[in-house]
């Protein structure tokens, strides 16, 4: 192993971290926002709404992301009306083509993940919210979706890690993220073994950080409402006060009556 090449890769590849993380988390954020209404439609009882969303998710989950990326980057530019429109100012940039492809793919996967979480929410929770007078929208916002995301969190971690690794495909359309810089360095040093081992190490480190972050989030959300329960358990129990008012109110007439009897008997004794 060439140590000089390894050191060169260790100092060169971190320059692609910003682009890798930007593509990954920007696509995940956009895909998550778009997938929320799609997951609600996918889990609805309407056959037309569910079938239309299913067709979209099936198409993007059933085809390779590399094919989708090439269709957007190379294919859309072949359409004359796209080249003559303002859309071409965006579609001519490799970054935006990769962002659109990654977002559409992430939306399809996240929609099915959230759909499974929504359908796994206990029906009793929803019925309890409706019995309290909550509307369907507020029930979805306060009850259904928070529980659904907690249920779907382990599956969503796989989507995040998968998108991180899929960001390496951006190097095929001239973007210099981690893999793009690695390929460029290999063409200069002719040492693919050392360079790609270092690149793989960076991906492993990022994956470990993401996994640890989501594990901490999962542990945090799985905790019960400890502050409330501890406060209730630790608060001193107040003993009920005796009903002194009632006792005195009932005892007062009796004492007055006995005093009157005593005074009357005293008067009778004096008269006799």
Minimum mean pLDDT range among 27-31, 62-66, 250-254: 250-254
Cα 250 to Cα 68, 241, 260: the distances in Å are 89, 17, 16
Q: Does 171 map to a domain?
A: yes
Q: Does 50 map to a domain?
A: yes
Number of domains in the chain: 1
Burial of 113 (0-12, 13-18, 19+ CB in 10 A): buried
| Cβ neighbours of 103 (radius 10 Å) | 21
Under the banding of pLDDT at 50, 70 and 90, the label for residue 101 is very high
The per-residue b/e assignment along 193-218, b for 16 or more CB within 10 angstroms, e otherwise, is ebbbebbeebbeebeeebeeebeeee
Q: How far is CA 188 from the centre of its chain?
A: 42
Using one digit for the tens of pLDDT, what is the confidence trace for 11-30? 999 999 999 999 999 999 99
35 Cβ contact list (under 8 Å, min separation 6): 106, 107, 110, 111, 113, 114
Q: Does 253 map to a domain?
A: no
Which residue range(s) make up the domain with 142?
A: 3-234
Answering whether pTM is above 0.85, one says: no
Percent of the chain's residues with pLDDT above 70: 82
Q: Does 158 map to a domain?
A: yes
The rounded distance, in Å, linking the Cα atoms of 163 and 210 is 12
Residue 97 near residue 91 (C-beta atoms within 8 A): yes
Q: Does 160 map to a domain?
A: yes
Q: How far is CA 255 from the centre of its chain?
A: 72
Q: Does 11 map to a domain?
A: yes
Q: Does 54 map to a domain?
A: yes
Whichever domain contains 207, its CATH number is 1.10.3720.10
Residue 20 near residue 164 (C-beta atoms within 8 A): yes
Q: Does 264 map to a domain?
A: no
Indicate if the pLDDT at residue 63 is higher than 90. Answer: yes
């Amino acid at each position: 192993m060439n140590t000089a090449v390894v050191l060169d890769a260790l100092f060169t590849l971190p320059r692609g971290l910003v682009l890798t993380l930007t593509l990954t988390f920007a696509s995940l954020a956009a895909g998550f926002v778009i997938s929320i209404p799609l997951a609600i439609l996918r889990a609805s009882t309407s056959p037309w709404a569910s079938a239309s969303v299913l067709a979209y998710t099936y198409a993007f989950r059933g085809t390779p992301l590399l094919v989708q990326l090439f269709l957007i980057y190379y294919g859309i530019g072949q359409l004359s009306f796209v080249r003559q429109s303002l859309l071409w100012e965006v579609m001519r940039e490799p970054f935006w083509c990769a962002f659109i492809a990654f977002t559409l793919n992430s939306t399809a996967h996240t929609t099915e993940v959230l759909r499974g979480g929504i359908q796994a929410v206990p029906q009793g929770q929803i019925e309890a919210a409706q019995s309290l007078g909550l509307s369907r929208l507020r029930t979805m916002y306060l009850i259904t979706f928070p529980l659904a995301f907690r249920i779907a969190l382990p599956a969503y971690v796989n989507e995040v890690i998968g998108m991180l690794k899929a960001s390496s495909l951006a190097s095929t359309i001239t973007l210099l993220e981690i893999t793009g810089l690695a390929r460029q360095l290999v063409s200069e040093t002719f040492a693919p073994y050392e360079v790609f081992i270092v690149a793989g190490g960076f991906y492993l480190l990022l994956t470990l950080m993401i996994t640890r972050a989501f594990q901490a989030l999962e542990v945090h959300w799985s905790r019960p409402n400890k502050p409330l329960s501890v406060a209730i358990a630790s608060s001193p129990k107040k003993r009920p006060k005796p009903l002194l008012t009632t006792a005195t109110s009932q005892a007062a007439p009796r004492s007055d009556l006995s005093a009157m009897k005593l005074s009357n008997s005293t008067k009778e004794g004096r008269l006799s």
